[in-house]
């Protein structure tokens, strides 16, 4: 992963990214890799819980779904985090979102842009409306969450039983959502940087507009890495709605891989 020096892609940049979906399925994010005996090791347990409720009616359970490799990377990120800060664990708050829900949000963002332009007597072309709406909510053609490659994460302090102070709540879309927001304490800045280092060391790309959003394999990730995107948006019919048995025996392998990554954080 190259060092990221800031900047955000425009809609046109993302539309130019080539997508060649590798066909990897979605998997329910469990609380950690499962050992051969079927038990999820307490040491490796991460917190995964939807904080937004828009996907709850879609799946049978409240679990968070992501592409298989994304799940593995999150487990490994959590192992690195827990080995360095034993009282902390990764808290994943969002993963896959259906295209239909993304489309609904985007329509609503376009509607709001039209109203604001009318109120301010500004004439916008359809293209400008789409571009402006994309700044508020990702255009479904390029959005990360419908690919199963994007996640929203923060860090949970298990001792204090609350999220680590990142300066601004997750999903607070005000000025504090920007990673480099000026109005932060040293601790908040350090915590945000630590989360970013953790996620980037396993290969996720950050998003400067939302300190909690990271992605792997989607168009945004490909734009940052000058690569081809290998996770395209999934059609709802392709998505399993019921629980699958987590793969076993991956624990030791993940711990080994996490040891290599840990050196980079």
Tell me which residues touch Zn ion (CB under 5 A).
152, 213
3-state secondary structure labels for all residues of the chain: CCCCCCCCCCHHHHHHCCECCCCCCEEEECCCCECCCCCECHHHCCEECCCCCCCCCCCCCCCEEEEHHHHHHHHHHHHHHHHHCCCEEEEEEECCCCHHHHHHHHHHHHHHHHHHHHHCCCCCCHHHHHHHHHHHCCCCCCCCHHHCCEEEEEEEECCCCEECCCCCCCCCCCHHHCCCCCCCCHHHHHHHHHHHHHHHHCCCEECCCCCCEEECCCHHHHHHHCCCECCCCCCHHHCCCCCCCCCECCHHHHHHHHHHHHCCC
Nearest approach, Cβ of 159 to Zn ion (angstroms)? 27
Nearest approach, Cβ of 171 to Zn ion (angstroms)? 9
Residue closest to Zn ion (Cβ): 213
Nearest approach, Cβ of 173 to Zn ion (angstroms)? 11
For Zn ion, the closer CB: 73 or 213: 213
For Zn ion, the closer CB: 134 or 213: 213
For Zn ion, the closer CB: 31 or 213: 213
Nearest approach, Cβ of 66 to Zn ion (angstroms)? 12
Nearest approach, Cβ of 105 to Zn ion (angstroms)? 11
For Zn ion, the closer CB: 82 or 207: 207
For Zn ion, the closer CB: 63 or 149: 149
């Amino acid at each position: 992963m190259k060092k990221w020096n800031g900047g955000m892609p425009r809609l046109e940049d993302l539309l130019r990214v080539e997508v060649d979906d590798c066909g990897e399925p979605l998997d329910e994010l469990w609380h950690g890799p499962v050992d051969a005996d079927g038990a999820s090791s307490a040491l490796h347990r991460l917190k995964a819980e939807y904080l937004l409720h828009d996907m709850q009616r879609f799946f049978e359970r409240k679990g968070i779904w992501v592409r298989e490799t994304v799940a593995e990377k999150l487990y490994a990120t959590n192992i690195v985090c827990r080995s360095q800060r034993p009282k902390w664990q990764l808290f994943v708050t969002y993963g896959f979102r259906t295209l239909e829900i993304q489309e609904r949000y985007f329509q609503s963002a376009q509607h709001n842009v039209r109203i604001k332009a009318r109120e301010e007597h500004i004439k916008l072309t359809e293209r400008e409306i789409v571009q402006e709406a994309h700044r508020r909510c990702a255009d479904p053609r390029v959005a990360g969450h419908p690919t199963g490659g994007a996640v929203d994460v923060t860090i949970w302090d298990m001792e204090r039983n609350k999220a680590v102070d990142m300066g601004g709540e997750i999903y607070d879309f005000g000025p504090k959502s920007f990673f480099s927001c000026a109005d932060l304490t040293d601790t908040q800045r350090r915590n945000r940087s630590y989360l970013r280092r953790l996620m980037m060391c396993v290969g996720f790309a950050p998003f400067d507009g939302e300190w909690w959003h990271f992605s792997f394999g989607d168009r945004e990730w490909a734009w940052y890495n000058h690569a081809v995107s290998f996770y395209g948006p999934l059609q709802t019919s392709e998505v399993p709605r019921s629980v699958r048995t987590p793969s076993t025996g991956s624990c030791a392998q993940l711990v080994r891989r996490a040891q290599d990554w840990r050196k980079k954080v």
